[in-house]
């Protein structure tokens, strides 16, 4: 949490659209991820977390999959959630927004009784997640044409 922005679950009217706008800017426009890959059926049941500037401008987002939705990404362990779609717009990078979003997603996971959070990190972001306590496991793999590694943090 900062004086200039806050992080919350995306439950207010318009929050989900704000999350999708940040994802479109970062993943579709900036990184060239096809729009049909960026948005999926999990968006309907995921817990979305949103970082907003004090004036309401969205700065970043991420989502938590849990239960059956997370099972395919976490090795079938129902006590592990899956963090994904973490995105911070260019203007807000370096302000701690990404770390605050990860902590917000972890809080949401704890509230749902989960014991750990997995994620699939773009390899250039491994250091960011390691600083937040995540540990890489398994081999590198491609996702949307970019190299990734699986990581996990016990809560």
Average pLDDT taken over every residue of the chain: 94
The pLDDT assigned to 3 comes to 66
With 60 as the cut, is the pLDDT of residue 1 above it? no
- pTM metric for this prediction: 0.93
With 60 as the cut, is the pLDDT of residue 66 above it? yes
The pLDDT assigned to 143 comes to 87
With 90 as the cut, is the pLDDT of residue 119 above it? yes
The pLDDT assigned to 75 comes to 84
Q: Name the one residue in this structure whose structure tokens are 């090795």.
A: 75
Helices (H), the chain: 15-23, 35-38, 68-74, 97-111, 126-131
Show contacts of 43-48: CB within 8 Å, 24+ apart. Answer: 43/16, 45/69, 47/9, 47/105, 47/108, 47/112, 48/9, 48/10, 48/15, 48/16, 48/19
The pLDDT assigned to 72 comes to 84
Q: Between 155 and 37, where is the model more confident? A: 155
């Amino acid at each position: 949490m900062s004086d200039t922005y806050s992080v919350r679950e995306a439950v207010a009217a318009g929050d989900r659209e704000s999350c999708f706008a940040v994802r479109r800017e970062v993943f579709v426009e900036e990184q060239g991820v096809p729009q049909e890959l960026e948005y999926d059926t999990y968006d309907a049941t995921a817990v979305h977390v949103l970082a907003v500037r004090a004036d309401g401008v969205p700065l970043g987002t991420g989502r938590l999959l849990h239960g059956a939705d997370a099972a395919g990404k976490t090795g079938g362990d129902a006590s592990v959630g899956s963090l994904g779609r973490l995105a911070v717009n260019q203007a807000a990078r370096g302000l701690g927004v990404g770390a605050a979003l990860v902590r917000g997603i972890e809080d949401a996971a704890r509230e749902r009784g989960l014991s750990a959070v997995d994620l699939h990190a773009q390899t250039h972001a491994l250091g960011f997640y390691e600083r937040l306590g995540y540990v890489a496991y398994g081999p590198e793999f491609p996702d949307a044409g970019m190299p990734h590694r699986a990581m996990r943090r016990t809560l």
